[in-house]
């Protein structure tokens, strides 16, 4: 029995507890522990990715209770990809936080680790109720992080965030309750089997529950009309927290992909493709409104927050296309958009500290102290996020555009993706020219950027050229991931394969 | 392999100048020239093979799944362009060394220039169309940086953004076109695409594909109606204008026309789109050039016009026209780059480019004047200069254009008209600058520029003359090679001679020359006329205005959508729920097969109380204390309902949760206003009421549907397995600590995080403490009533004992760590309430953070312990032990887990409470000290 599958959950949890026990120790000690544990997630993520590379599933039955009765963690390609992505994003974010933002309130590092635990658990679990539990861990930790080093803007945006998400949690429970009431199970693989077998009498209730889940996930993912909380919340957060939050919307996207490919996917009988008809128009509308919001933004951080909304629209439009190539493209785009958005949030933090009282407002102000360096980094990030060649955003868009078969969908997707690309180009060229060119004749007084903070930004932004350069192997993996997702029989078999083992009469000693 | 070096060397070179600038400006220029020169040497090394008719191809897969390869191709057309890019690029590097002033950051300039050079070389050497697009957009990006080089100038910033928006946007359209082209032919490799002309032109998507690709080409080559960005790009330093905006980048569009000529041309649609746009641009540019007073403005519109001419030639679509087009590309690059450099010299030496202030410069700089005159003569199409040759070919081709039917006289007429203007503005360029009166209002005395600043101009002007006089000996092989790969087939016969006898094209040339001079002589009247006709025709203003309007609309839309109202967002969330449930359930049979049970009086009464108190909570929600009391009634009825339906564990939990929650809420209420103001309008209340009713009904419908269906769940397994597998007869508890212990671990973590979060939030918080309650009555003086403390203290040990009992028996009988923890917490909270924070804190010296953390840790470690026995996380075990006196009882690992739950609940509840309590302490220090 290999326990590596559960380590991405337990390692952050234990680290958080250790940090709490040492809550009176020095900040340096906390930083060291937190960074070491987060760094360890990276080789762990690689190891798990390597385990799924062949297409094998890892199933971890908690408490040794066989599925569907106990909770299982399931490692497949998608889960491994998300775990690695979380590790790749969180280490630079933490590195950045370790040079300033972590001392504005108590227990930052413990909360950060709890957040990682929630993220990793959500990606690993194979149980719908357990997903709810990890959503709660995520939510409450992210709320605490969001309010960290509070201010009025942060508190207000944070309040909206937490109240809406609590309502979302309530809806999640309603949906899970309904599904459990009809199918009698919580295990996602088992749900997939039972939903597919549902008769016409039960189908409407299951559809209602399935779509209720879509509402919950759409709120998390920030899909129209439920994204309005995001721009304020993300732009109010401190730079490293905002960077980490780049993956929070992706948890919603992940859940949508997971649930609507596994449980309500193509093979779900009467409930096949429950969500797609809703996702397609909403995703495209999100894309358009996000791009317009970015154009209207008056602060760099708000602008980036809208770009996060744009990326969600792009990703879900790709998933709604419902084909292998489009999903593979979306997953590639997911990697790119998460890392680059994270890098941009960190960079915005650097720019903000160097521009004096004007912060990241997009109007003429004092120049930053390191215009060449920050300007170049901004240029690279902007090129990546707009989707201009030769960086990862371009490859992602290219993959997505070429994945759609000719027809009405093609016209809509191309027009909107390319049109919003043009809007983003205009938006970012204006922002960059405001920040770095249109400066007042003042000698900058702000100190130069901290080296490790710079390193954090560079690490995240390096993903753009690297993902582009190694597009082939990355895309091969996301293609395999998409293929695995669209063939959920493998998942179901891996989880439920041993369900017929009789275990009614065995005592504790003989438990398998 | 060495082919890719031609691109990568300048790319690498982009990094050198910013480093070498520390060694001085000359070293910086050398570092830039070195790698560009090496790339040129490599290109020349490969050129014999190309002249011999070979096409060199290099392929390196990049993303083969998509058809995106790093594949390069060197053929005649590519060679010609690469020579222009590298050759003129080297001259520009030399020129810029003397052009840039001491204040201009030279390292950055050369870096961006080389980046552009690499991108441009990439375009002309790409074999893969997607790769071509990659480089295409890179030129837009590097051009953006170069135009905005003088970042303090607002015209530079605006010009840069406009150029990027238009050329970048065109690139996006082109991307779509290329994807369609790949869809039609099945490959993005040029060798495949160029051989699929019939397939492409017969395809239903051909018109769309063509239009999209042309959008890319036309925006880049500043064709009407996208021409306006080019004159505004002249805010860039002159070397940039000379290089990007006359010789190379703007040629990328016509390069693409040439490149795809074999695949796309030859149809009526091609003719009308390309030739039509070319003609319009040719005329418009030539016309506007005459009326620009700025030297660079004149040259910019002249460039627009000449690009239109080349586009028109490719639009005509005959092989000979294509040859003429390629030839004019060469000629235009040489004379226009030299004219720009001359304009730069004039600007550099006099400080102005306004022709109304210039004049008579012949006296000060005869050398420069001579060079400019040669180049301008070439631009005007005067015989013996290279511009004449291609212009003659152009005239001849306009006479033979197909598809015009009885309108075939129109094209030659328009061509002559444009040429006439071109002569006029060329004369103006020379006469207004070097002759006549002036210069006026200039601060310094003009003189010849530094020696090496003139060398690049001399080289190019020499080429103009050499090509113009001895075409067959100079340009012929290169033209033949380039034209051959453009046409893609056997080249038709053409002659590069200067003299073709008296023919129609010559007549057209003569008319243009004579007419142009006359036009120039009439210029002042024309200027006045022009100012009257076109006072407001400024495309840039339209562009900026359109953009500003788009931004304003986005502002309004965003502000309207995101008004910052939580109520609005919550409304949208609830409405979404209503819609998805409504659409799913509408018109379906909700009721399942299970019959309704009987309703007894007790249940009905309970339900009524529940409903009424819930409603009352809503109605009295503005009176917060009353609402809170009513809310607690709701909670209590729910607890009773759990008892009624035989769920003692849930009832106990609900009851204790209820108590703790209400207590905490009371504490929080202390700081809040006692009444919420009424802010909503009646209509709004109706809307929200209806929405809430709808959402409630939806949930009720779900519940109804579920309850009327038979329940076949995994819970049967839990009932069976609870005792033999989990070692406990209280199934609820076994589910919590064993079957779904992982959920519980997650939930206690949530509880702990909430406590830590609240702790963090309350740190350093200062709230004004109210002195009166909502009714205006002062709070009681006696903060810790004696009776309460007297009663509560003896209660504590009793309560602790009860909670211990509940904890221990939990595995088999109603109880468990969660309930026990809450009972303990309530007992301790009571001490806080009765005796105050300070008193209690002195007697409970625990670190609540560590207490909470230790709870989660105990639970986690219980799970980890099962690894020791090679079982998965949280695998439980139990044993029955026989102890004297106590008898046989059970020890289960799950009970340790439950202790963890207990500790977490106690710790986090107290952590929250103690810190909220401390808040009252902070705000009323005098009270405590009293």
**What stretches of A362-504 show up as alpha helix (H) in DSSP?**
371-386, 392-402, 408-432, 451-461, 463-469, 471-485, 489-496
Q: Is the pLDDT of residue A508 over 70?
A: no
Q: Is the pLDDT of residue B537 over 80?
A: no
Q: List the single residue in B161, B550, B860 with the smallest CB-CB distance to A13.
A: B860
pLDDT in tens, B648-679: 888 988 988 888 888 888 878 877 776 677 77
Residue A147 sits at the chain B interface (C-beta within 8 Å): yes
Q: State the average pLDDT for chain B.
A: 88
- Residues B65, A476: C-beta atoms closer than 8 Å: yes
Interface of A with B in 208-227 (CB under 8 A): 208-209, 211-212, 214-215, 218-219, 225-226
- Rounded-to-integer distance, Cα B324 and Cα B311, Å: 11
Q: Is the pLDDT of residue B332 over 90?
A: yes
- Rounded-to-integer distance, Cα A282 and Cα A277, Å: 9
- Distance from CA of residue B213 to its chain's centroid? 23
Q: State the average pLDDT for chain A.
A: 90
Q: Is the pLDDT of residue B930 over 50?
A: no
- Rounded-to-integer distance, Cα B780 and Cα B465, Å: 105
Place B536 in a pLDDT band, splitting at 50, 70 and 90: low
Interface of A with B in 65-94 (CB under 8 A): 65, 68-71
B741 contact residues in A (CB cutoff 8 A): 62-63
A69 contact residues in B (CB cutoff 8 A): 714, 717-718, 721, 739
pLDDT of res. A355: 86
Residue A134 sits at the chain B interface (C-beta within 8 Å): yes
pLDDT of res. A364: 86
- Rounded-to-integer distance, Cα A82 and Cα B740, Å: 24
- Rounded-to-integer distance, Cα B314 and Cα B316, Å: 5
What percentage of chain B has pLDDT greater than the value 90? Answer: 47
Task: Determine which of A389, A473, A511 to mutate to test the interface with B (most B C-beta atoms within 10 Å).
Answer: A389
Between A and B, how many CB-CB pairs are < 8 A? 334
CA distance A420 to chain B (A): 10
DSSP-derived secondary structure letter, A449:
P
Q: Is the pLDDT of residue A278 over 70?
A: yes
Of B548, B555, B557, whose CA–CA distance to B162 is shortest? B548
Q: Is the pLDDT of residue B925 over 50?
A: no
- Rounded-to-integer distance, Cα B790 and Cα B844, Å: 18
Give the Cα-Cα-Cα angle B494, B495, B497 (nearest 5 degrees).
165
- Residues B558, A214: C-beta atoms closer than 8 Å: no
pLDDT of res. A502: 35
pLDDT of res. B179: 95
Residue A68 preceded by cis peptide, ω within 30:
yes
Taking CA atoms, what residue in A is nearest to B871? A64
Question: pTM of the entire structure?
Answer: 0.93
CA distance B202 to chain A (A): 17
Q: Is the pLDDT of residue A159 over 90?
A: no
pLDDT of res. B922: 55
- Rounded-to-integer distance, Cα A309 and Cα B575, Å: 21
Residue with tokens 């340096």: A28
- Exposed / middle / buried, residue A451 (Cβ in 10 Å: 0-12, 13-18, 19+): exposed
Q: Do B300 and B336 meet the contact criterion of CB atoms below 8 Å apart?
A: no
Q: Is the pLDDT of residue A499 over 60?
A: no
- Rounded-to-integer distance, Cα B445 and Cα B428, Å: 23
Place A6 in a pLDDT band, splitting at 50, 70 and 90: very high
Distances (CA, A) of B442 to B235, B365, B430: 21, 15, 19
- Residues A164, B584: C-beta atoms closer than 8 Å: no
B19-48 average pLDDT score: 91
DSSP-derived secondary structure letter, A361:
B
- Residues B853, A21: C-beta atoms closer than 8 Å: yes
CA distance A92 to chain B (A): 23
Q: Do A49 and A84 meet the contact criterion of CB atoms below 8 Å apart?
A: yes
A130 contact residues in B (CB cutoff 8 A): 740, 742-743, 746
CA distance B178 to chain A (A): 10
CA distance B279 to chain A (A): 28
Taking CA atoms, what residue in A is nearest to B593? A201
- Quote the radius of gyration of chain A (alpha carbons, Å): 22
How many CB atoms neighbour CB B443 within 10 A? 7
Please list, in sequence order, all residues whose beta carbon lies within 8 angstroms of the beta carbon of residue B63, skipping any fewer than 6 positions away: A395, A399, A471, A472, A475, B69
- Rounded-to-integer distance, Cα B732 and Cα B738, Å: 10
Please list, in sequence order, all residues whose beta carbon lies within 8 angstroms of the beta carbon of residue A281, skipping any fewer than 6 positions away: none
- Residues B874, A63: C-beta atoms closer than 8 Å: yes
- Residues B757, A143: C-beta atoms closer than 8 Å: yes
Of B925, B664, B908, whose CA–CA distance to B769 is shortest? B925
- Residues A503, B584: C-beta atoms closer than 8 Å: no
Taking CA atoms, what residue in B is nearest to A439? B152
- Exposed / middle / buried, residue B602 (Cβ in 10 Å: 0-12, 13-18, 19+): exposed
CA distance A62 to chain B (A): 6
| Secondary structure of B824-845 as H, E, C letters | HHHHHHHHHHHHCHHHHHHHCC
Q: Write out the H or E segment, with its range, that includes residue A61.
A: strand A58-61
Q: Is the pLDDT of residue A503 over 60?
A: no
Q: Is the pLDDT of residue B512 over 50?
A: yes
Q: Write out the H or E segment, with its range, that includes residue B460.
A: helix B451-469
Among A63-72, A226-235, A291-300, name the most confident range. Answer: A291-300
- Rounded-to-integer distance, Cα B274 and Cα B265, Å: 9
- Residues A296, B558: C-beta atoms closer than 8 Å: yes
Q: Do B416 and B512 meet the contact criterion of CB atoms below 8 Å apart?
A: yes
Please list, in sequence order, all residues whose beta carbon lies within 8 angstroms of the beta carbon of residue A232, skipping any fewer than 6 positions away: A153, A156, A157, A160, A302, A305, B562, B564
pLDDT of res. B504: 86
| Secondary structure of B735-778 as H, E, C letters | HHHHHCHHHHHHHHHHHHHHHHHHHHHHCCCCCCCCCECCCCCE
**What stretches of B67-105 show up as alpha helix (H) in DSSP?**
76-99
Tokens at residue A3, please?
């326990």
pLDDT in tens, A313-356: 999 999 999 999 999 999 999 999 999 999 999 999 999 988 87
B731-742 average pLDDT score: 87
A208 contact residues in B (CB cutoff 8 A): 580-581, 584-585, 698, 702
- Residues A167, B867: C-beta atoms closer than 8 Å: no
Tokens at residue B407, please?
């309108």
What percentage of chain B has pLDDT greater than the value 70? Answer: 96
A372 contact residues in B (CB cutoff 8 A): 108
pLDDT of res. B721: 84
- Rounded-to-integer distance, Cα B322 and Cα B311, Å: 10
β-partners of residue B70 are B60
CA distance A206 to chain B (A): 9
**What stretches of B381-446 show up as alpha helix (H) in DSSP?**
386-399, 410-434
A397-409 average pLDDT score: 92
Q: How many CA atoms lie within 13 A of B338 on its CB side?
A: 29
B885-899 average pLDDT score: 79
Of A401, A257, A231, A383, whose CA–CA distance to A309 is shortest? A231
Q: List the single residue in A390, A429, A471 with the smallest CB-CB distance to B161.
A: A429
β-partners of residue A72 are A61
CA distance B372 to chain A (A): 34
Residue B187 has φ and ψ, to the nearest 5°, of -155, 155
Place A500 in a pLDDT band, splitting at 50, 70 and 90: very low
A480-491 average pLDDT score: 94
Q: Is the pLDDT of residue B714 over 90?
A: no
Q: List the single residue in B134, B168, B550 with the smallest CB-CB distance to A295.
A: B550
Q: Write out the H or E segment, with its range, that includes residue A328.
A: helix A324-354
Place B904 in a pLDDT band, splitting at 50, 70 and 90: very high
Secondary structure of residue B285 in the 3-state scheme: helix
The residue that leads in pLDDT, B438 or B698, is B698
Q: How many CA atoms lie within 13 A of A223 on its CB side?
A: 27
CA distance A427 to chain B (A): 9
Q: List the single residue in B562, B739, B872 with the smallest CB-CB distance to A69.
A: B739
Place B732 in a pLDDT band, splitting at 50, 70 and 90: confident
- Rounded-to-integer distance, Cα A88 and Cα A102, Å: 19
What percentage of chain A has pLDDT greater than the value 90? Answer: 72
């Amino acid at each position: 029995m290999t326990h590596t599958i559960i380590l991405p959950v337990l390692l952050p949890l234990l680290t958080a507890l250790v940090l709490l026990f040492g809550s009176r120790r020095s900040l340096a000690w906390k930083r060291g522990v937190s960074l070491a544990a987060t760094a360890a997630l990276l080789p762990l993520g690689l190891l798990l990715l390597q385990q799924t590379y062949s297409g094998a599933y890892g199933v971890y039955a908690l408490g040794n209770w066989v599925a569907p009765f106990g909770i299982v963690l399931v490692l497949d390609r998608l889960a491994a990809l998300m775990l690695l992505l979380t590790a790749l994003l969180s280490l630079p974010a933490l590195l950045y936080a370790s040079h300033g933002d972590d001392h504005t309130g108590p227990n930052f590092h413990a909360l950060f680790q709890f957040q990682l635990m929630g993220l990793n658990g959500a990606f690993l679990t194979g149980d719908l109720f357990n997903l709810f539990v990890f959503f709660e861990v995520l939510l409450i930790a992210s709320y605490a992080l969001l309010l960290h080093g509070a201010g009025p803007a942060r508190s207000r945006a944070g309040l909206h965030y937490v109240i809406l998400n609590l309502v979302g949690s309530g809806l999640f429970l309603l949906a899970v309750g309904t599904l459990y009431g009809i199918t009698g199970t919580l295990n996602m693989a088992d749900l997939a089997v039972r939903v597919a077998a549902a008769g016409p009498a039960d189908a409407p209730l299951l559809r209602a529950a399935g779509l209720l889940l879509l509402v919950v996930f759409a709120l998390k993912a920030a899909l129209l009309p439920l994204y309005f909380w995001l721009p304020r919340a993300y732009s109010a957060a401190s730079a490293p927290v905002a960077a980490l939050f780049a993956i929070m919307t992706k948890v919603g996207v992940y859940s949508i992909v997971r649930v609507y490919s596994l449980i309500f996917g193509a093979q779900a009988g009467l409930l096949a493709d429950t969500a797609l008809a809703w996702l397609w128009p909403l995703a495209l509308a999100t894309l358009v409104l996000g791009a317009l919001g970015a154009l209207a933004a008056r602060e760099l951080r708000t602008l980036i927050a809208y770009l996060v909304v744009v990326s969600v629209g792009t990703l879900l439009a790709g998933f709604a296309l419902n084909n292998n190539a489009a999903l593979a493209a979306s997953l590639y785009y997911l990697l790119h958009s998460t890392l680059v958005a994270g890098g941009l949030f960190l960079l915005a933090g650097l720019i903000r500290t160097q521009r004096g009282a004007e912060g990241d407002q997009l109007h003429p102000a004092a120049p930053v102290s390191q215009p060449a360096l920050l300007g170049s980094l901004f240029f690279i990030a902007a090129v990546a996020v707009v989707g201009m060649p030769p960086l990862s955003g371009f490859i992602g868009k290219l993959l997505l555009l070429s994945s759609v078969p000719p027809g009405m969908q093609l016209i809509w997707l191309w027009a909107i993706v390319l049109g919003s690309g043009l809007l983003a180009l205009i938006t970012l060229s204006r922002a960059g020219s405001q920040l770095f060119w249109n400066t007042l004749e003042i000698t900058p007084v702000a100190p130069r950027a901290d080296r490790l903070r710079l390193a954090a930004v560079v690490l995240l932004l390096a993903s753009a050229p690297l993902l582009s350069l190694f597009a082939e192997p990355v895309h091969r993996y996301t293609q395999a991931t998409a293929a695995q997702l669209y063939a959920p029989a493998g998942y179901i078999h891996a989880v439920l394969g041993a369900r017929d083992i009789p275990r009614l009469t065995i005592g504790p000693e003989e438990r398998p | 392999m060495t082919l890719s070096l031609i691109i990568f060397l300048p790319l690498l070179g982009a990094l050198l100048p910013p480093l070498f600038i520390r060694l001085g400006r000359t070293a910086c220029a050398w570092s830039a020239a070195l790698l560009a020169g090496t790339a040129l040497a490599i290109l020349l090394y490969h050129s014999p093979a190309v002249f011999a008719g070979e096409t060199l191809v290099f392929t390196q897969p990049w993303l083969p799944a998509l058809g995106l390869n790093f594949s390069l191709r060197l053929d005649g057309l590519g060679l010609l362009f690469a020579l222009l890019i590298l050759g003129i690029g080297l001259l520009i590097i030399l020129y810029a060394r003397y052009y840039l002033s001491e204040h201009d950051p030279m390292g950055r300039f050369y870096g961006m220039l080389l980046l552009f050079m690499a991108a441009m070389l990439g375009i002309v050497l790409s074999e893969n169309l997607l790769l071509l697009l990659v480089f295409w957009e890179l030129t837009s990006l590097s051009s953006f940086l170069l135009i905005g080089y003088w970042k303090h100038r607002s015209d530079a910033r605006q010009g840069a953004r406009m150029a990027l928006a238009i050329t970048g946007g065109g690139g996006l359209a082109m991307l779509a076109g290329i994807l369609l082209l790949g869809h039609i032919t099945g490959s993005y490799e040029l060798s495949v695409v160029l051989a699929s002309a019939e397939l492409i032109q017969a395809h239903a998507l051909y018109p769309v594909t063509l239009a999209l690709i042309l959008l890319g080409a036309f925006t880049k080559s500043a064709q009407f109606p996208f021409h306006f960005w080019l004159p505004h790009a002249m805010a860039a330093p002159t070397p940039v204008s000379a290089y990007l905006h006359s010789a190379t980048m703007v040629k990328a569009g016509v390069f693409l026309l040439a490149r795809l000529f074999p695949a796309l041309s030859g149809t009526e649609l091609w003719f009308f789109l390309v030739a039509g746009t070319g003609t319009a641009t040719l005329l418009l540019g030539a016309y506007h050039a005459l009326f620009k007073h700025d030297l660079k403005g004149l040259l910019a519109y002249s460039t627009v016009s000449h690009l239109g001419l080349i586009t028109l030639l490719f639009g005509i679509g005959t092989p000979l026209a294509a040859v003429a087009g390629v030839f004019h590309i060469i000629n235009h690059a040489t004379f226009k780059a030299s004219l720009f450099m001359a304009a730069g010299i004039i600007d550099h030496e006099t400080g102005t480019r306004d022709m109304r202030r210039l004049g008579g410069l012949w006296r000060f700089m005869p050398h420069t004047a001579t060079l400019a005159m040669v180049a301008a003569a070439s631009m005007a199409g005067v015989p013996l200069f290279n511009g004449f040759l291609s212009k003659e070919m152009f005239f001849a081709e306009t006479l033979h254009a197909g598809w015009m039917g009885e309108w075939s006289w129109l094209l030659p007429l328009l061509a002559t008209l444009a040429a006439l203007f071109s002569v006029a503005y060329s004369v103006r360029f020379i006469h207004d600058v070097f002759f006549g009166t002036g210069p006026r209002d200039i601060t310094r005395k003009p003189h010849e520029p530094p020696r090496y600043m003139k060398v690049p101009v001399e080289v190019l002007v020499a080429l103009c003359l050499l090509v113009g006089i001895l075409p067959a000996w100079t340009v012929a092989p290169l033209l033949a090679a380039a034209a051959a790969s453009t046409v893609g087939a056997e080249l038709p016969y053409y002659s590069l001679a200067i003299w073709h006898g008296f023919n129609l094209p010559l007549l057209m040339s003569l008319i243009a020359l004579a007419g142009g001079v006359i036009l120039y002589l009439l210029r002042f009247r024309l200027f006045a006329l022009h100012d009257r006709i076109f006072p407001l025709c400024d495309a840039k203003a339209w562009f900026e205005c359109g953009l500003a309007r788009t931004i304003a609309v986005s502002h309004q839309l965003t502000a309207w959508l995101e008004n910052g109202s939580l109520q609005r967002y919550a409304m949208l969330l609830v409405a979404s729920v209503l819609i998805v449930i409504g659409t799913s359930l509408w018109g379906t049979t909700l009721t399942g097969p299970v019959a309704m049970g009987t309703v007894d009086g007790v249940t009905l009464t309970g339900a009524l109380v529940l409903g009424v108190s819930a409603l009352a909570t809503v109605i009295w929600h503005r009176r917060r204390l009353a609402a809170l009391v009513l809310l607690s009634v709701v909670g209590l009825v729910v607890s009773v309902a759990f008892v009624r339906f035989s769920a003692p564990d849930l009832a106990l939990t609900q009851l204790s949760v209820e108590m703790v929650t209400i207590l905490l809420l009371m504490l929080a209420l202390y700081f809040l206003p006692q009444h919420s103001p009424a802010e909503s309008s009646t209509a709004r209340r109706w809307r929200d009421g209806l929405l809430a009713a709808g959402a409630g009904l939806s949930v009720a419908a779900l519940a109804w549907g579920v309850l009327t269906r038979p329940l076949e769940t995994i819970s049967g397994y839990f009932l069976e397995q609870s005792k033999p597998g989990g070692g406990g007869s209280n199934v609820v508890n076994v589910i919590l600590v064993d079957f779904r212990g992982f959920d519980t671990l997650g939930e206690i973590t949530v509880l702990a995080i909430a406590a830590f979060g609240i702790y963090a939030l309350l740190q350093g918080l200062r709230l004004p403490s109210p002195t009166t309650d909502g009714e205006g009555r002062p709070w009681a003086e006696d903060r810790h009533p004696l009776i309460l403390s007297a009663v509560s203290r003896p209660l504590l040990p009793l309560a602790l004992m009860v909670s211990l009992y509940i904890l221990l028996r939990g595995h088999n009988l109603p109880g468990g760590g969660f309930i026990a923890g809450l009972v303990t917490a309530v007992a301790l909270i009571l001490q806080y309430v009765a005796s105050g924070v300070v008193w209690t804190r002195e007697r409970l010296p625990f670190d609540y953070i560590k207490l909470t953390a230790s709870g989660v840790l105990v639970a986690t470690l219980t799970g980890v312990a099962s690894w020791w026995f090679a079982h998965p996380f949280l695998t439980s075990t139990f044993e029955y032990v026989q102890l004297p006196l106590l008898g046989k009882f059970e020890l289960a690992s799950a009970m340790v887990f439950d202790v963890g739950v207990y500790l977490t609940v106690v710790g986090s509840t107290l952590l929250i409470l103690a810190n909220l309590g401390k808040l009252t302490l902070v705000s009323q220090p005098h009270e405590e000290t009293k």
